[in-house]
Structure 1
């Protein structure tokens, strides 16, 4: 019997795609995949290294997995992902319970490496590298720059064509959800002072359109109805491919032609990079839902400058006006950081006024904490932890009120819902996965998962909606 491996995926949608590709490589490499950790011969943890809470969760998960070596049948516990890439040998030294710490470069031959580790082979953890110092491949050198593209775990395909003969595995899905993330790029070229992602994810690297279309077809064949386009900065898509000023819109047009895909959702757009006509261009593509995930992070100009970001309340509100002029019922979400070094009471009041005026559908509120190796770690004007916590609490209360009012304003609207559970719970077009609430279509004993139904909103519970199926 083949050795069994269990994989735990932590963090964002981009990590989930990495996890699915790792599972595919392991399965093609001869491993049996199991959802039961107690039945696994090896446990792989795809870690997150973004913020302190995510790091702690990753370490706790690795420690829990290591217990299986005594209570279960596991012979090895392996750390991969962002925490492993970011800290490498430092993590290995601090966490001897993990049998190996593998960086991104280990992914292509993960099956051989895992087999070696399970057999007792020693693996030297890699030394952390600042990937900002590594030159990305030139467009002509990348897979997919010629007439064919090579997909993970797949044989070559013609650009934009169907997969050629060979192993029919791109990803091994973590679940059977009708929504799947599609990672359109990795890395980031921005240098926000609070963010360490470029140091371990590298510079921005777009995936070729033909590769993405082929993967979208593969997902559609497996029942996926919604593609969630994910990257660290989706508004930058195609800049490194020399694909022209409308690279993202052109990609969306190609994806909209994939039979079986009904919704295209774009995540993580940088307000400073939304060029003229981009909003209209995106919403003008068939199947693109009216949804904007806009990374504001703050609204006070002084704080934004210290973050090395751009904008002010007037420009941000103007952007929201442009979105709503094209799509009045669009879903708009964002994230903000409070308690950033040097943030004054006046800055916090500016942010609060913006939140009240912006009327967003959902917003994440995060308290600032130092990230090792970032410029913000060296800034003066650090606020005490209790002050940061107070500001998180007050801003969260305001956000909860504003977003609940926005949800109540949708009562009476006719919305299209992607059903994700048999009891009729799903998401309306303005709701992104996991973070923007749900819509429950009441009045039916069961609805087919993956179906799109029209319904009228009858009530709101926080940011969640209740709707009656339209007849």
Structure 2
């Protein structure tokens, strides 16, 4: 009997990418092999996001295509997991009767229970059970791995649907995380990315032994063979000096911090329930640059939040100009179901939002381009990921500052190689493999 096949489409954040890897690892144990051909798959899976309206719209279009496959091949199973499924749990089967199984982010393991049950009648799994990630993962890259350190979030940002889709924050024990990373390193992983909705509040509520995110970073840094540690995302309120010092003192903790700003106006931040002010955010940036001067700082910014005036938006532009971010994810506000902001009057006209977004993006890219010039002429350590996406004759990788580097020279995916940087844009660096540095065992 031939192996059954699964096609999975992932929307949204790195946490979702990790959840998809865990789904594939679990399905591999059940005899399912991944396929790129959705039309021929025995199981069509969607791992969904509900942070922004566009993600919803894109997903529903894909789901309609899967329904067409099921009409041609009725034995095909369709599964929907992730935040969107959790957010519409009361209506998913009524709205989409062709779906066979639906499950929230905390119920990934229930997919296996459904597939191995005697009767494949439509089922939904949406309970919060804390961390349910003790599943094998099928990693997309051999030398890079995700590690989920916590589940859920205790923040109540007025625009965010995550607390209702992923539940209250639950931290995994320190010893368990150290053991998992040791296992990944033994399996050839050189770089890990720690995942959580608010990573730097990790450990505070662990019982009987509370801990801190800085302690976790130092414990992982001590693991022999681990070259790089990244994490996403911290919250400015919880970005303490001990974490910044871990960046400065731990060789494997990368020189990159993704610090979400969301808005540069303290008035708008209060409406967003972000629990910090413009001044506190700038203080955290100053602290990072004091201890890690070369650190790359990236951010998230929302344009057109309810009540945002031109003066508020100017304050956002002022912060962006003052900080000089190395990159930013920028979004036009769209209300999400079951959030406080969805009940606010969306009083910023769409054309104003679009115009503000254009001004913001221009400034972000100009400052990021200026910041990137500091790398030209330097030799950076690059973790090779494979051929360049736009020019297969060149190689592609990332430096410790999380910038994509396209370079000339021969290298193998998974290698750490020295690259002399010859050019820089707002988003990528270009360079040449430094044979001299490589020969000297860079």
TM-score norm. by structure 2 comes to: 0.89
Q: Which residue of 2 aligns with 1:122?
A: 121
Correspondence for 1:269 among 206, 229, 234:
234
Counterpart-to-counterpart distance in 1, 2:318 and 2:207: 40
Counterpart-to-counterpart distance in 1, 2:406 and 2:299: 23
- For the pair 1:449 / 2:413, whether they are aligned, the reply is yes
* CA RMSD of superposed structures (Å): 2.4
Q: Which residue of 1 aligns with 2:78?
A: 77
What does the per-residue CA deviation read over 1:174-220, in whole Å, with 9 as the maximum and x for residues that have no partner?
A: x2253222111111000111111001101111112222223223332
Counterpart-to-counterpart distance in 1, 2:163 and 2:67: 30
Correspondence for 2:299 among 334, 340, 343:
334
* Count of matched residue pairs: 428
Q: Which residue of 2 aligns with 1:152?
A: 134
> Could you tell me how far 1:111 is from its partner in structure 2?
2.3
Q: Which residue of 2 aligns with 1:317?
A: 282
Extract unaligned runs of 5+ from structure 1. 144-150, 154-169, 432-436
Alignment CA distance shift 1:28-1:458 (3 Å):
same
Counterpart-to-counterpart distance in 1, 2:186 and 2:69: 36
Q: Which residue of 2 aligns with 1:354?
A: 319
> Could you tell me how far 1:379 is from its partner in structure 2?
2.1
Extract unaligned runs of 5+ from structure 2. 388-393, 437-442
Counterpart-to-counterpart distance in 2, 1:195 and 1:271: 16
> Could you tell me how far 1:265 is from its partner in structure 2?
0.8
In the TM superposition, 1:413-424 aligns within 5 A as 413-422=378-387, 423-424=394-395
- For the pair 1:299 / 2:264, whether they are aligned, the reply is yes
What does the per-residue CA deviation read over 1:277-315, in whole Å, with 9 as the maximum and x for residues that have no partner?
A: 331134322311111110111111110111112334433
Alignment CA distance shift 1:288-1:25 (3 Å):
same
> Could you tell me how far 1:51 is from its partner in structure 2?
1.1
Q: Which residue of 2 aligns with 1:3?
A: 4
In the TM superposition, 1:221-300 aligns within 5 A as 221-242=186-207, 247-300=212-265
Q: Is the 8 A contact 2:149 2:196 kept in 1?
A: yes
Counterpart-to-counterpart distance in 2, 1:254 and 1:391: 43
Q: Which residue of 1 aligns with 2:92?
A: 91
Counterpart-to-counterpart distance in 2, 1:301 and 1:244: 36
Q: Greater shift after overlay, 80-89 or 339-348?
A: 80-89
Runs of 4+ in 1 over 6 A off after TM superposition: none
Q: Which residue of 2 aligns with 1:171?
A: 137
- For the pair 1:308 / 2:273, whether they are aligned, the reply is yes
Partner of 1:296: helix, strand, or coil?
Answer: coil
- For the pair 1:65 / 2:73, whether they are aligned, the reply is no
TM-score norm. by structure 1 comes to: 0.84
Counterpart-to-counterpart distance in 1, 2:124 and 2:137: 26
Counterpart-to-counterpart distance in 2, 1:59 and 1:210: 41
Counterpart-to-counterpart distance in 2, 1:333 and 1:259: 29
Q: Which residue of 2 aligns with 1:468?
A: 432
